[in-house]
Each structure stands twice: as C-alpha cells, then as structure tokens.
C-alpha cells in the first residue's frame, strides 16, 4: 500500500502527480541460526583437549606415581630399619662385654695395670719350669712369689733371664739364705711394667 505525499504533486506537464513511498506493515520475528564455523571451533577444542591431557598427566597420574614410589620407599626403609633393629637387639650386652676388654671405661691406674693373664703366663712359662712355686700374690704390678727347690745360683740365673723380658721391670730377692748348691725357699719380688696404650 502506497502513501501519497501531498508535498510532491507536480508532474512533467505541471500536473499534480501522486508520489508513492514504500512502507512495511509487517515484521518478521523468525531468527535464522547461523551454521557452526568449524574453523573457529577446532583450535578451541584442540586447546581444551591439550589442557585436559596435561592436567591428567601432571595433576593426577604423576602425583599418583609419586605417592606410590614414596610408599614403596617407605616400606623398604621400614624393612631395613627392622633388620637393623634386629641386629642391634643385643648391643647393650655386647657393649658391656666390649667394655671389659677396652680401655675407655678404665681409670689411669687400671689402664697401666698389667693383664693378669700375662702374669699367669709368665709364671707358667718362665718360672715354673725352673722352680716350684709354693705361693704367689699380685698387688698392682708387683708379683710376689715364694719359690722352692732352687739354689741361689739357679735363682740368680732365673733373675737374669726374667729381667730380659719386656714385661719385667725389675726382680729382687729378699731374705734368701742358703748354702751354695743347696735348694732353699726363696722369696722373690717381680715388678712388672706395661706401656700406656695409644689413644
């Protein structure tokens, strides 16, 4: 339907002519959806997939692997600790036994005292083959003996042989009286020596 414009009514010959202007009396509310643009969606989808893969790899799988490895290491360490504790179960008794044969628990006098087993070995190997030992006593590093069945000359030879031993510092005989060549009872005193062990 055209609307006449009264302002423009002049024709070629001067006659009034009606002007028709286009008009629209209806409105179309139908929305035409645009089709999906794959060129725009593909990069976005690719980015989302890569992000999901990276998150799964570093955020989940790697963390689980670390926990599994840590638990395995912990189990190994616990087994090693159990084995070590089993080996150390008798440590206190061993330390006490070791202390009897070491110098750390001794005072200075005890460290310098000659081992009693060394003294007994001296008596058995150096004195008893040459004389009868009636009695003996040990006081510190001094060995006192009463020997029998030995002459003064034999006692002198025994003293000389004993003084050559590193364990012996000096030997003395007191109150021995006998005739030459006659066996007698001879009291003998032997002072022993021991070097201080190096620390």
- The pLDDT tens digits for 12-50 are 555 566 666 667 666 665 555 555 667 777 778 888 888
Residue 136: count other Cβ atoms within 10 Å of its Cβ. Answer: 16
Query: Among candidates 164, 189, 187, which has minimal Cα distance to 176?
Result: 187
Count of structural domains within the chain: 1
Q: Find the helix or strand (DSSP H, E) in which 42 lies.
A: helix 38-54
Across 69-97, b (16+ Cβ under 10 Å) vs e yields eeeeeeeeeeeeeeeeeeeeeeeeeeeee
Q: Tell me, yes or no, whether 186 lies in a domain.
A: yes
Decide if 115 contacts 134 (C-beta within 8 A). Answer: no
Alpha helices in 114-172 (DSSP H): 116-122, 152-162
Q: Tell me, yes or no, whether 154 lies in a domain.
A: yes
Structural domain for 173, as ranges: 114-192
Q: Which CATH number fits the domain that encloses residue 128?
A: 3.30.1360.100
Q: Tell me, yes or no, whether 8 lies in a domain.
A: no
Q: Which residues contact 136 (CB under 8 A, 6 or more apart)?
A: 123, 143, 144, 145, 146
Query: Whole-model pTM above 0.85?
Result: no
Q: Tell me, yes or no, whether 124 lies in a domain.
A: yes
pLDDT digits (tens, 9 = 90+) for 143-167: 999 988 888 888 889 999 999 998 9
| C-alpha to C-alpha distance for 143 and 90, rounded to whole angstroms | 38
pLDDT at res. 62: 83
Q: Tell me, yes or no, whether 143 lies in a domain.
A: yes
| C-alpha to C-alpha distance for 141 and 113, rounded to whole angstroms | 6
């Amino acid at each position: 339907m055209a609307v006449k414009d009264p302002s423009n009514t002049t024709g070629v010959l001067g006659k009034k002519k009606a002007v028709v202007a286009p008009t629209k009396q209806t409105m179309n509310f139908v929305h035409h959806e645009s089709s999906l643009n794959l060129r725009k969606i593909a990069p976005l989808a690719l980015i989302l997939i890569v992000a999901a893969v990276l998150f799964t790899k570093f955020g989940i799988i790697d963390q689980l692997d670390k926990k599994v490895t840590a638990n395995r290491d912990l189990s190994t360490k616990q087994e090693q600790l159990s084995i070590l504790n089993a080996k150390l179960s008798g440590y206190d008794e061993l330390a006490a036994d070791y202390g009897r044969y070491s110098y750390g628990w001794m005072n200075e006098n005890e460290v310098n005292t000659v081992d009693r087993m060394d003294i007994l070995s001296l008596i058995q190997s150096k004195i008893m083959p040459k004389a009868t030992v009636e009695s003996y006593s040990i006081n510190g590093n001094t060995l006192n003996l009463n020997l029998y069945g030995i002459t003064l000359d034999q006692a002198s030879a025994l003293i000389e042989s004993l003084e050559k031993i590193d364990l012996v510092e000096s030997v003395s005989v007191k109150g021995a009286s006998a005739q030459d060549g006659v066996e007698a009872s001879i009291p003998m005193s032997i002072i022993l020596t021991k070097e201080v062990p190096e620390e």
